[in-house]
Amino acid sequence: MLGFITRPPHRFLSLLCPGLRIPRPSVPCAQPRPRAMAVSSSSCELPLVAVCQVTSTPDKQQNFKTCAELVREAARLGACLAFLPEAFDFIARDPAETLRLSEPLGGRLLEEYTRLARECGLWLSLGGFHERGQDWEQTQKIYNCHVLLNSKGAVVATYRKTHLCDVEIPGQGPMCESNSTMPGPSLESPVSTPAGKVGLAVCYDMRFPELSLALAQAGAEILTYPSAFGSVTGPAHWEPVFS
């Protein structure tokens, strides 16, 4: 079962029960807070998860406010797990700003999300956090880190993106994630959550089927690819891979 709730500007919340066949809607339901959208886990007898879509900006506090509204809405509707996209924390205007705005996992922003998870009593998949790792002083580069929090706000898993997106975009020039980001050293074992065993990946990882196969063979029931593709890279990846 799938429901859609829109929140202007550029915010979107979808609710689904893993394991059900999902019909492809021709147009998302865009009614203001309709009761019909309040799908609960009891109505489909499966765990309810929420997929939160946002358009991030360089303003980290405004981004947190936007994400928190969607997470609280998901909790109100009965979700046990909410997924946030890659770069949920911010999208900077240039690589220098990206590095300046980045934080360690023990920084203030992750503390706000741990409090949010405890407040709402649900798990959070933070799809791509700009992390200053322990090697920040040596490398001056960050990690693209997928963080999983449980309903008590504890970090239960972290996966650092292994496949970095270095591509030449026609008409726009090169996009080199590796200029400011370090590749992660390893995969993370699938994590048991109220919605099932979740395998963590990020965005460009979906181009490499060996990663999905390894997670599936390790017992993953849900594969996650939180993404922040652009208007050119998005169609170039999602349409060929999933069509």
Q: Using one digit for the tens of pLDDT, what is the confidence trace for 49-108?
A: 999 999 999 999 999 999 999 999 999 999 999 999 999 999 999 999 999 999 999 999
pTM: 0.82
CATH assignment at residue 76:
3.60.110.10
* 86 a catalytic residue: yes
Alpha-helical (H) ranges within 103-225 are 108-120, 136-139, 209-217
Residue 70 lies in a domain: yes
The DSSP symbol for 182 reads P
Helix (H, G, I), strand (E, B) or coil at 199: strand
Between the two ends of the chain, the Cα-to-Cα distance in Å is 21
Give residue 73's domain range. Answer: 49-242
Q: Which is the catalytic residue, given 17, 73, 80, 86?
A: 86
* 161 a catalytic residue: yes
Q: What kind and span of H or E run contains 9?
A: none
Q: Using one digit for the tens of pLDDT, what is the confidence trace for 111-167?
A: 999 999 999 999 999 999 999 999 999 999 999 999 999 999 999 999 999 999 877
Residue 22 lies in a domain: no
- Number of independent structural domains in the chain: 1
Residue 2 lies in a domain: no
Q: Which is the catalytic residue, given 161, 165, 177, 188?
A: 161
Residue 177 lies in a domain: yes
* 203 a catalytic residue: yes
Residue found under tokens 């797990």: 81
